[in-house]
Amino acid sequence: MLRTVGKLHKEQLSKLMAMLRNTNPNFVRCIIPNRQKKIKALELDPEIGQSKVFLRAGSMAQLEELRDKKMTNVIITFQARCRGYVARK
């Protein structure tokens, strides 16, 4: 039986919706594999749609807060280095 990407997606979505109807998840986020670490590079292999993380309420907020703090530090460091570089020119 020939299974197209569209058909696989539809089957996986149906399974996910059935699972969601039978449970009470607070948040669902899908993770798409990107082992090449390149922007916009999706791996269309049998792993697609099988990497799901179910988080309780509040967990995502904590993770996003930590990410925001880290990104703020990265941006401040980058700005400081850029200003230093321009000042030394």
Of residues 18 and 35, more confidence is placed in: 18
The 10s digit of each residue's pLDDT in 23-44 is 876 665 566 666 777 766 655 5
Range of the domain at 31: 1-56
Q: Report the number of distinct structural domains present in the chain.
A: 2
**In this structure, are 37 and 11 located in the same domain?**
yes
Task: Calculate mean pLDDT across residues 9-26.
Answer: 83
Mean pLDDT value across the chain: 78
Do 39 and 10 lie in one domain? The reply is: yes
If asked whether residues 22 and 41 sit together in one domain, one would say yes
Say whether both 10 and 43 belong to one domain.
yes
pLDDT at 55 over 60: yes
Residue 47 is classified by DSSP as T
Give me the pLDDT at residue 36, please.
72
CA distance 62 to 10: 32
Gap between the Cα atoms of 65 and 58, Å rounded? 11
pLDDT of 47 reads 46
